[in-house]
Amino acid sequence: MTKKFYITAAIPYVNAAPHIGHALEFIQVDVVARYHKLLGEKVIALTGGDENALKNVQAAEKAGFPVQEFIDKNAKLFEELLKKLNTQFDVFQKGTAPSHFKSSQELWNKCFEKGDIYKKDYEGLYCVGCETFYSPDELNEKGECSEHPGKKLDKVSEANYFFKLSSYQKELIKLISTDKLKIYPDFRKNEVLSFLKEPLRDISISRSNERAKNWGVPVPNDPTQRMYVWFDALNIYRSGVDKATWPADLHVIGKGIIRFHTVYWPAFLLSAGLELPKAVMAHGYLTVDGQKMSKTIGNIIDPLEIINKYGVDTLRYYLLREISPFDDGDFSYRRLDEVYSSDLANELGNLVMRITTLAEKDKLEIKPIYNFQFSNLTIEQFDSFQFNLILESIWKKIKVLNKSTDDFAPWKKTSQERKEFLTKSLNEINQVGYELQPFLPETSEKILKATTGKITKIPPLFPRLNTK
């Protein structure tokens, strides 16, 4: 029986068009998915649209569009980006899908029947950006949300349904500390455990129809309330697949929402008697030229602009090689130009073109390599999401191949000497092509085709660009 591997990206808000931070996560998920496919596993990859948030309603009102029309338009932009990034997502589950509404209400009912949901009057400070309540001790020195500094929190007073999060504190600590719910990297795991050492407060999981503006999943048996967006949005991971696919083997998320995925989400599932995801990987944030991305600053990076100018594999390479999988990283067009010229055009592109040009002149034919396998070290690095280290290792091989070509100077050798060298070089480049499959699928396909059978000169993989 073929092993199943179910992986998810976070469910982005569809209150605006996607940016390069979304691209980073989608590409990370795609790399892991492609790797597991190469292992022969049946892979299911899911993301979707978080469509029931109040911020979506507010953005639609500001833009002067009906809410559904507005979120449908933005959701389509995300789906188009997934295709442009050459990612292989199987499911894009919309938060407004009837199947999601039904599944979320079933989840609610299970938690309610367990006795973990109750109603009470509540007053608190609400961050629309995070779609969550904060206590004063969770805010910065200015009384602001650390994720959205400079934005005033709403003081809310109303009757809400609450979930008994406190009932699952000990169980969550045990699950996380024993890695039954594995958190990558370890320092994020320690952050979550540190949070769980403090007494857990029960959390509000509904909003009044008035404050929700009659948008979102209705609370079962209470026409005055809508589900809190984080209760329903997390359930997209379940509502978008069949029962045989759940649980998720891996959730890939940004560091800012780790608490929702490692505390709230597993607690809801425990209450409902459902299986938990096996692992959560949290990546860092992207800055642009050292600054946080902001509409006010005007430094939001559209990944489609990069793809249109440099090609999709250039963007994939930059985000996977230059950005640490777990720490914050920086994007700059200056560095992108450097990477494109040095790593992609000069080192990889020039190598493949030189070797295939010489091989064509000698009318070489190469049999395909069928027994390729990842090394044990590479497997370990894939399993710990060290994408940058794997690419670093691949590029060391590329550098060695370039140097050996310069040193040997096959164009100066006899026909037999040149044939032996070129055959060896083509086989090694072919292996590089296999190793690049999860990372640069378009480039990998070109390399594999160019280095087997009757060899013909390959056009530049990364043509010289006027980047000024």
- CATH code (residue 445): 1.10.730.10
Domain count, the chain: 2
Confidence of residue 287 (pLDDT cuts 50, 70, 90): very high
Question: pLDDT > 90: what percent of the chain?
Answer: 85
The two three-digit tokens of residue 226, written as one number: 């809508």
Same-domain status, 272 and 341: no
Same domain, 338 and 277: no
> What local confidence, expressed as pLDDT, does residue 300 receive?
93
For residue 143, the model assigns a pLDDT of 74
Q: Mapping DSSP to helix (H, G, I), strand (E, B) and coil, where does residue 116 land?
A: coil
Catalytically active residues, by annotation? 19, 22, 127, 130, 145, 148, 292, 295
In angstroms, rounded to a whole number, what is the distance separating the alpha carbons of residues 179 and 397?
A: 35
Helix orientation angle between 441-450 and 350-361, rounded to the nearest 10 degrees: 20
108 membership: H or E segment, kind and range: helix 98-113
pLDDT tens-digit readout, 27-76: 999 999 999 999 999 999 999 999 999 889 999 999 999 999 999 999 99
Residues 160, 47 share a domain: yes
Residue 325 in domain: no
Q: For residue 437, what are the CA distances in angstroms to 31, 42, 229, 333, 442?
A: 9, 17, 37, 25, 8
Strands (E), 235-312: 250-254, 279-283, 286-288, 291-292
Question: Which residue matches tokens 């070489």?
Answer: 364
Query: Is 367 among the domain residues?
Result: yes
Q: What share of the chain in percent tops pLDDT 70?
A: 95
Q: Tens digit of pLDDT for each residue in 301-322?
A: 999 999 999 999 999 999 999 9
Q: For residue 277, what are the domain limits?
A: 4-283
313 in a structural domain: no
Q: Which of 43-47, 105-109, 286-290 has the lowest mean pLDDT?
A: 286-290
Same domain for 354 and 422, yes or no, is yes
Q: Is residue 305 part of a domain?
A: no
158 shares a domain with 92: yes
**Same domain for 277 and 363:** no
CATH number for the domain including 195? 3.40.50.620
Average pLDDT over residues 2-15: 96
Closest to 385 (Cα-Cα) out of 339, 467, 325 = 325
User: Which runs of consecutive H residues, i.e. helices, occur in 114-221?
Assistant: 169-177, 186-197, 209-212
Sequence-distant (6+) residues with CB within 8 A of 208 are 158, 159, 160, 224, 225, 226
Does residue 61 sit in the same domain as residue 142? yes
